[in-house]
Amino acid sequence: MPHTMNDPVPVIRDIDDLYPGDALQFQKGRFDRLKCQFAELYGGKTPQFTTRSPGRVNLIGEHIDYSLYEVIPMAIAADVLIAVSPIPKPANDDEDVKVHVANLNPEKFKAGEFVVPKRGNIEIDSSTLQWTNYFKAGFRGAVELLEKENSEFSPCGMEVLVDGIVPAGGGLSSSAAFVCASALATLRVNGLEWVPKKELVELAIVSERSVGVNSGGMDQAASVFSIRGDATSISFSPELYAEALPFPKTSPPITFMIAQSFVAADKHVAAPENYNLRVVECTLAAEVLAAELGLKLKNDQGPLGTSLRGFQNAYYESEKGNSKDDPGTQVKTMLSLTKEHLGKEGYSREDIASSLSMSVQDLEKKFMAKFPVRADRFYLRQRAQHVFTEALRVQAFKKLLQSPPPDACTTLLPKLGAILNESHASSRDVYVHSCPEIDQMCEIATEAGSYGGRVTGAGWGGCSVHLVPKERIGAVKAAWEEKYYRKREPAITKEKLAEAVVVSEPGHGTMVIDLS
Ligand code: NG1
Ligand code: MG
């Protein structure tokens, strides 16, 4: 199904058709609160418009977006709303242009403001984790885009109020939702009424990196491109491409449960030894493989310039690869090359530098300077092995959704579940980005009747996603409550339990909501 990737982000003037039944009342309540609070904070003003971007759950394809392999996430209902009003440019050029950023939950997210510099873009101090940094990241990307189109451009000031209901640090990508909504708000308030989705995604991917995590592009793409009811398949090579992936109708219907572990995935603070380290390991795996085979890697869209997918492309562009190989065979060939050329014991900096014929200083300068990492050994073979097997699992999962087996009702769901379980095993044992709590939650769910489940998002905490037959949802919930949540926190409240587990339908992507 062709995806409307180059279409502009939709502008919605009436939310009645956006949400089903009960959800509509809840959403209307949110808009009323946002409007009231906005007036209270900003001298009686009404927001000019609101931007909205959802979180996402990644169904399959974990930690492979930055190696430029395809992933299959879906948008969830939880989202970030940003109500916006412009502050006209001051008549006097010496006066500062300011942006005020407040949150509906001011205890947790303290209001901030910043002055827009007269020349150049705003600085973001990525050494501290301030929630307003994510707004600044979106703002910065938007201003860069507007400057590219008009070198004389200077942004207006803004008054902004945020209502985010995507749990932070929970693997559901609250950060990308916030960055996308912030960038869209900045573009629109500065006069860009129709924002092409693809441009928004591309700028949000790059600008989120200014917060200090060397991320891939899945979250921003899932947030912006998703269409209600469908999963989204997103590929990155040869260029960013998204496609709606409808779920086949089965009985029982395909239902995903998302469960919080409440282990805070502090990706930010720990990035040098977890997320950013994995990005470096994958890039170095590509570099070492290329060096071993005498291939030259091109600078591609990988966060560090080269990628495992770039290695695959280089291999197949050279006379070494058989150009007739189908996509599955190509990835399987990558797996064999990994086993043949990369050692099991891991690599020191010296080992890698020598195989790339460079000094350790140059290695660090090229791959570990912009986003520093803390590690003595680099497990290139294991990381590449996860990436290639996960890429194969994505292909298999997608094929099952696109052409379900004739006896879909009985075989499709167990098959999808088995792929999720294999993915989890690889995350746990090979890529090492799960945690014991999530491993345990996966076991509990399987015992209670789930078809399969896995850690989702960056991991090291956060959430898991499970494919569960509709009639087993209650049983799985009860099992987690008894065997996980109450054991971990005996006094856990009803509210916290209710938030811990959601059955999410695939939700709408990013939009502007203009109720004026
Ligand atoms: P989370 O931490 O769930 O937002 C991160 C990356 C993704 C992807 C996943 C792992 C950011 C903004 N996003 O997602 O690009 O690599 O981990 O699959 O860091
Ligand atoms: Mg995130």
Confidence of residue 127 (pLDDT cuts 50, 70, 90): confident
pLDDT reported for residue 2: 45
**Ligand 1 pocket member 458 (CB < 6 A):** yes
Distance (Å) of CA 14 to CA 25, 165, 178, 225, 506: 13, 21, 22, 20, 20
In the reported structure, the alpha carbon of residue 357 is separated from the centroid of ligand 2 by a whole-number distance in angstroms of: 35
In the reported structure, the alpha carbon of residue 437 is separated from the centroid of ligand 2 by a whole-number distance in angstroms of: 20
**β 49-60/72-87 pair status:** antiparallel
Cα 239 to the chain's mean position, in Å? Answer: 17
Which ligand 1 atom sits nearest the alpha carbon of residue 457?
3
The Cα 231–Cα 240 span in angstroms is 16
Which ligand 1 atom sits nearest the alpha carbon of residue 176?
12
End-to-end distance of the chain based on CA atoms, in angstroms? 34
Confidence of residue 505 (pLDDT cuts 50, 70, 90): confident
Which ligand 1 atom sits nearest the alpha carbon of residue 213?
19
- Ligand 1 pocket: which of 80, 211, 218 to mutate (most atoms within 8 A of CB): 218
What residues contact 393, with CB distance under 8 A and at least 6 apart? 60, 61, 419, 422, 423
pLDDT reported for residue 295: 97
Nearest to 61 by CA among 391, 310, 396, 431: 391
pLDDT tens digits, residue range 287-310? 999 999 999 999 998 999 999 999
The Cα 274–Cα 278 span in angstroms is 6
Phi–psi pair at 103, nearest 5 degrees: -130, 150
Q: What is the mean pLDDT of the chain?
A: 94
Which ligand 1 atom sits nearest the alpha carbon of residue 462?
3
Q: Which ligand is nearest to the CA of 66?
A: 1
Mean pLDDT of 217-244: 95
- Ligand 1 pocket: which of 57, 62, 76, 173 to mutate (most atoms within 8 A of CB): 173
pLDDT exceeds 60 at position 133: yes
pLDDT exceeds 80 at position 4: no
The Cα 450–Cα 466 span in angstroms is 7
The Cα 94–Cα 509 span in angstroms is 40
Least confident stretch, 99-103, 267-271, 374-378, 408-412:
267-271
> What angle in degrees, to the nearest 10, is found between the helix axes of 174-189 and 197-208?
120
pTM for this entry: 0.95
The Cα 164–Cα 137 span in angstroms is 16
Mean pLDDT of 135-162: 95
The string of DSSP codes covering 349-393 is: HHHHHHHTTS-HHHHHHHHSSSS----S-B-HHHHHHHHHHHHHH
Which ligand 1 atom sits nearest the alpha carbon of residue 214?
19
The Cα 390–Cα 398 span in angstroms is 12
**For the chain, what percent of residues have pLDDT higher than 90?**
83
Confidence of residue 267 (pLDDT cuts 50, 70, 90): low
What residues contact 482, with CB distance under 8 A and at least 6 apart? none
**Which residues are close to ligand 2, an ion, with C-beta < 5 A?**
173, 175
In the reported structure, the alpha carbon of residue 263 is separated from the centroid of ligand 2 by a whole-number distance in angstroms of: 15
pLDDT reported for residue 95: 87
Torsion over CA: 328, 332, 337, 339 (sign): positive
Phi–psi pair at 513, nearest 5 degrees: -115, 115
The Cα 394–Cα 386 span in angstroms is 12
In the reported structure, the alpha carbon of residue 176 is separated from the centroid of ligand 2 by a whole-number distance in angstroms of: 6
Structure tokens at 211: 């917060």
**Ligand 1 pocket member 441 (CB < 6 A):** no
Task: Report the nearest-CA residue for atom 11 of ligand 1.
Answer: 215
Distance (Å) of CA 100 to CA 44, 92, 97, 134: 15, 20, 10, 13
**Ligand 1 pocket member 267 (CB < 6 A):** yes
**Ligand 1 pocket member 387 (CB < 6 A):** no
**Ligand 1 pocket member 176 (CB < 6 A):** yes
pLDDT exceeds 90 at position 394: yes
Scan for tokens 């001011």, then name that residue.
106
**β 72-87/501-503 pair status:** unpaired
The Cα 513–Cα 228 span in angstroms is 16
pLDDT tens digits, residue range 427-457? 999 999 999 999 999 999 999 999 999 999 9
Active site residue ranges? 219
Mean pLDDT of 201-219: 92
The Cα 64–Cα 85 span in angstroms is 38
pLDDT exceeds 70 at position 3: no
In the reported structure, the alpha carbon of residue 174 is separated from the centroid of ligand 1 by a whole-number distance in angstroms of: 10
**For the chain, what percent of residues have pLDDT higher than 70?**
99
Mean pLDDT of 374-400: 98
pLDDT exceeds 90 at position 410: no
**Amino acid, res. 402:** Q
What residues contact 337, with CB distance under 8 A and at least 6 apart? 289, 293, 315
pLDDT exceeds 50 at position 1: no
**Ligand 1 pocket member 216 (CB < 6 A):** yes
The Cα 173–Cα 177 span in angstroms is 6
Task: Report the nearest-CA residue for atom 5 of ligand 1.
Answer: 458
Structure tokens at 256: 């995903």
**β 157-164/97-103 pair status:** parallel
Write the DSSP symbol of residue 47.
P
**Ligand 1 pocket member 208 (CB < 6 A):** yes
The Cα 272–Cα 460 span in angstroms is 13
Q: Are the CB atoms for 463 and 170 separated by under 8 Å?
A: yes
The Cα 105–Cα 164 span in angstroms is 9
Cα 101 to the chain's mean position, in Å? Answer: 23
**For the chain, how big is the Rg over CA atoms in Å?**
23
In the reported structure, the alpha carbon of residue 131 is separated from the centroid of ligand 2 by a whole-number distance in angstroms of: 12
Mean pLDDT of 470-496: 96
The Cα 246–Cα 234 span in angstroms is 14
Beta bridge mates, 376 = none
Mean pLDDT of 310-323: 96
